[in-house]
Each structure stands twice: as structure tokens, then as C-alpha cells.
Structure 1
Amino acid sequence: MTKSFLLAGVGGQGTILTSKILTEGLTQLGFDIKMSEIHGMAQRGGTVTTHIKFGEKVYSPIITSGEADVLLAFEKLEAARHLSYLKPGGTLIVNDYEIYPMSVLTGQVEYPENILDILKSTVPNTVVVNAYDIAKDAGSVRAQNIVLLGAAVKILGITDLDWEQIIKSYLPEKFHEMNIKAFNTGMREA
């Protein structure tokens, strides 16, 4: 049986790095995996998504509407934007964090109020993670992606790997301790 995992964030949040680490772990677990990255206007604060499918045999990484088992949103508005990809009964993991898009910054529209309440009422299986505060406590707010990775690993039930070693293989040594702390706290908070 194939599982679908969609990651959605804003350029600069570490969505692609998180996808690569997750994919490495799934590979070590023996799954066939396909991954596809969509960058959009990532360097200008635009949406970045990664489609990951894994299972015994996977033919395409592309996730269509209503197909994702898990949606990992690095930002609240990105969760709302990509909610249509989540299948009924799927799980939404959302970072309690806001990055205002250009339309909000220029005053064209307002950032939606009570967006977490709307998401939770729409998706019963919603896990809200305050990755910003956790990452800050770990040493840098830039580790939010690794906090969310920890939450995803816990929720997917794939904790029986040496995730710390996998994370270390993707990051410079000077960031190991901080990111391992962020990952472990993310797992606990899930």
C-alpha cells in the first residue's frame, strides 16, 4: 500500500531539506520512494511543496487532490492553501506560524483570522506544533523544519531509525546539537 506525504511551506523554511531527510529515512526502512519538488517563487517568499510517495512499489511522486495521507504545513496559510490535497481521514500537521505573503504586506488582503480554528474544524486529525518556540529554545528559529520533521516522524510511526545520524549527515557539524534537540522536542510534542 502506498502512502502520500505532502510538505508545504514558504521559500527559506527548509521544506526541501526536511523532505530529503525524511526520504533518506524512508529509504533506510526499505520503502520504494518517489519525491518531487515544486519551488514556485520560492526565493521571493513563495510556496514550496514537496510530494513524497512511499510503499512497496511507487510509480509516480505526484499527489493529486484528496490523495495525501499527511499534509505537513510549515506555515498556517500554506496549510489552508494545500488542504484540498488531504484525503478524508488524513492527518494535518501544521506549524503555528505566520509568514505574510506579498498581498498581505501590501495591504491588498488581510491574513485570515482564526485560521487554526478553521483548520481544526475542517480536519479532525490536526496536530498543531509551535515549532517557532521549540526551535528558538533549541538554539535557532531556523530549526523549525527539524522540529516539524520530529513531529512527522512520530505521527508516521517511523521512530525505529537512527534519525539523529540521518540529520547529522545533511547538516554541518556546528548545527548538529541544536537540530537534534529540535528534532527530539518535536517528536515529544507530537
Structure 2
Amino acid sequence: MVRSLVLCGVGGQGIIRAGSIISAAALKSGLDVKSAEVHGMAQRGGSVVTQIRFGDKVLSPLIKRKGADFMLGLEKLEALRYIDYLKPDGIALVADLELIPVTDSIGLAEYPENLDLLLKERAPNLRLIDPMPIAREVGEPRAANVVMIGALSNLLPFEEAVWEEAIAENVPPKTVEANLKAFRMGRELLRR
């Protein structure tokens, strides 16, 4: 069986790194993995999306609309932009974060006020998670992506040790311990 996952957020949130961690965990679990990334202004503030497919035999990394089993959104508006990729019974884990784009802050566009409702209407299996308290607690604010991966890890068929190995190999060496702690605490969030 092939599983599909869409990750989305804005540049600087670690979407590409999160995709690398998830892909590594799937590979270490003996699965075939294909991924594709789109990152416009990935340095800061631009939309970033990664599609990952894994299973016994994966032919393409591309996910059709209504084809993703899971969504991991690190920002609510970006999650809304890509929510149509999620299957009707798919599960969306979305960070309870709103990062106002430059176009909105200078008045060229308007950031929606009712994002929670809009997301819930389009993704009945939605779980909003605030990763920032954990990221701050572990002393690594940039680990919010790994907190979210921890929550997601409860839904994917990879052993905890495999996840931890994938994280250790894909984060800067001096942040490994903080990221592993962020992962473990994120994992507990979804168990509550």
C-alpha cells in the first residue's frame, strides 16, 4: 500500500528538513520513497510544499488533488491553500500558527480571520497543534517542525527508534538533543 503526505508552510519553517526526516524514516523502514518539493521564496516567507509518497513500490512523487492520506501544515493559511490535496477521510495536523505574509502586512491582500473554521469545513479530521511552547521549552524555537513530526509519527508505521535516527541525521549536530526532545514531546501531544 502506498501512503501520501503533503507538508506545507512558509520559508524558514523547516518544511524541506521535515520532508527529509520523514523520507529518511520511511527509507530506514525498508519502504520505497519518492518526494517532490516546490519552494518559491523558501528563505523567508514564501510558500513551500513537499509531497512524499512511500510504500512497497512508488512510481511517482506527485499527489493528485484529494489523494493525500495526511497533511502536515506548519502554518494555517498555507494548510488552507493545500487542503484540497487531502483525501476526504485524510488526517490533517496543522500548527496553530498564523504568519502574516508581506503582501497582507502592506495591504496588498487580506489574511482571513476565520482560518480555523475554513480548515475544519474542508478537513473534518483536523487537529490543530501549537508547537511553539514545546519548541521554546527545549530551547530551540526552530524545532517546531520536529514537534509536529512527533505528533505525525503516531499516525505513520515507523518505529520510534527509526524516527530518532532520521532526526539525528538531518538536523545540525548541536541541536540533536533539543530536536529529539521536541520530537518525543510532540509525540505525546497526539496521544492525549
Look up the equivalent residue of 1:96 and give its one-letter code.
D
Q: TM-score, normalised by structure 2?
A: 0.93
State the partner residue of 2:177: 177
Identity %: 43
State the partner residue of 2:22: 22
State the partner residue of 1:117: 117
Is the CA contact (8 Å cut-off) linking 1:75 and 1:95 kept in structure 2? yes
Is the CA contact (8 Å cut-off) linking 1:66 and 1:85 kept in structure 2? yes
Is the CA contact (8 Å cut-off) linking 2:83 and 2:122 kept in structure 1? no
After superposition, give the CA deviation of every residue in 1:90-142 in whole Å (9 maximum; x if it has no partner).
01110001111122111123321131132123312111110122211111211
State the partner residue of 2:49: 49
Q: TM-score, normalised by structure 1?
A: 0.94
Is the CA contact (8 Å cut-off) linking 2:70 and 2:91 kept in structure 1? yes
Q: CA deviation at 1:75?
A: 0.2
Q: CA deviation at 1:89?
A: 0.3
After TM superposition, what 4+ stretches of structure 1 lie above 4 angstroms from structure 2? none
After superposition, give the CA deviation of every residue in 1:159-184 in whole Å (9 maximum; x if it has no partner).
44332222112223321121111111
Look up the equivalent residue of 1:51 and give its one-letter code.
Q
Q: What is the CA–CA distance in structure 2 between the aligned matches of 1:22 and 1:130, rounded to whole Å?
A: 20
Q: What are structure 2's unaligned runs of at least 5 residues?
A: none
CA RMSD of aligned residues (A): 1.4
Q: What is the CA–CA distance in structure 2 between the aligned matches of 1:177 and 1:75, rounded to whole Å?
A: 25
Look up the equivalent residue of 2:153 and give its one-letter code.
V
Q: What is the CA–CA distance in structure 2 between the aligned matches of 1:153 and 1:138, rounded to whole Å?
A: 19
SS of corresponding position for 2:33:
strand
- Aligned in 2, Cα 1:88/1:166: closer, same or farther, shift over 3 Å? same
Q: What are structure 1's unaligned runs of at least 5 residues?
A: none
